[in-house]
Amino acid sequence: AQKITQTQPGMFVQEKEAVTLDCTYDTSDQSYGLFWYKQPSSGEMIFLIYQGSYDEQNATEGRYSLNFQKARKSTNLVISASQLGDSAMYFCAMRGLNSGNTPLVFGKGTRLSVIA
Amino acid sequence: NAGVMQNPRHLVRRRGQEARLRCSPMKGHSHVYWYRQLPEEGLKFMVYLQKENIIDESGMPKERFSAEFPKEGPSILRIQQVVRGDSAAYFCASSPGQGPEKLFFGSGTQLSVL
């Protein structure tokens, strides 16, 4: 079974500054995938970035990057140069890869508010 | 290429009625997942289906809830005799089913039970 923990219910960041959203996970799978999704107030779930457990490099996608620390079982999302449009809920998720397709397991989320 | 389509976007039902939520996966995707989200909560897995098969329904309540993904047509999540506690956002996601790929989500159906 997998478990995701996001300990920051809410975060504030000044526009143009960088912000780190924390995520730790627990799994017995040797191979797994880690995901971050953004949910704006309109409600849709937008995929941001993916990290495989065997990827040696930290994933990056534009202004999004991951600080993946496998030994500590953490995969923190870093958003650089925050924009007002980044204000949203952010969910960390994972799925085990040892036994075929398994559902994504989500954390409770962090609400990010970007201040002008 | 259309994304995952869910309808209706909003559904209002009175206690005891039936709710039917529809999900058309992305073209070429044969794997569908249903999730439920309560306010200020993360998404909770309900059921995972492939065409004509339920693969994992470990997150779905044993009573009143059912799901199908027929050979033709959308996936349906059906809730019979709805209660106020069923009020939530229900999200459908799809994937092609080829490895550790991300899930593509629909915009969700907001179910309100009066």
Query: pLDDT digit string (tens) for B19-70?
Result: 999 999 999 898 999 999 998 788 999 999 998 899 999 999 999 999 999 9
Confidence at A100, pLDDT banded by 50, 70, 90: low
CA distance B103 to chain A (A): 8
Please tell me the number of Cα atoms within 13 Å of A81 on its side-chain side: 3
CA distance A82 to chain B (A): 23
Q: Please give the C-alpha separations between residue B45 and each of A10, A21, B33, B67, in angstroms, as whole numbers.
A: 23, 23, 8, 13
**B80: pLDDT strictly greater than 90:** yes
Residue to mutate among A6, A31, A45, A50, with most B CBs inside 10 A, is A45
Percentage of chain A with pLDDT > 90?
82
Find the mean pLDDT for residues A60-70.
96
**What pLDDT is stored for residue B39 in this prediction?**
83
Phi and psi at residue B2, to the nearest 5°: -65, 150
Residue to mutate among B44, B102, B110, B111, with most A CBs inside 10 A, is B102
Confidence at A56, pLDDT banded by 50, 70, 90: confident
**B2: pLDDT strictly greater than 90:** no
Q: Is the Cβ of A35 closer than 8 Å to some Cβ of chain B?
A: yes
Query: pLDDT digit string (tens) for A16-51?
Result: 999 999 999 999 888 899 999 999 998 889 999 999
Q: Say yes or no for a CB contact (<8 Å) between A106 and B43.
A: yes
Do B9 and B110 touch, CB atoms closer than 8 A?
yes
Q: Report how far residue A7's alpha carbon sits from residue A112's, in angstroms, rounded to the nearest whole number.
A: 13
Q: Report how far residue B73's alpha carbon sits from residue B25's, in angstroms, rounded to the nearest whole number.
A: 10
**B8: pLDDT strictly greater than 60:** yes
Q: Report how far residue B21's alpha carbon sits from residue B28's, in angstroms, rounded to the nearest whole number.
A: 21
**What pLDDT is stored for residue B105 in this prediction?**
93
Query: A with B: how many residue pairs have Cβ under 8 Å apart?
Result: 60
Q: Report how far residue A77's alpha carbon sits from residue B6's, in angstroms, rounded to the nearest whole number.
A: 29
Query: pLDDT digit string (tens) for B94-105?
Result: 988 766 678 899
CA distance B58 to chain A (A): 10
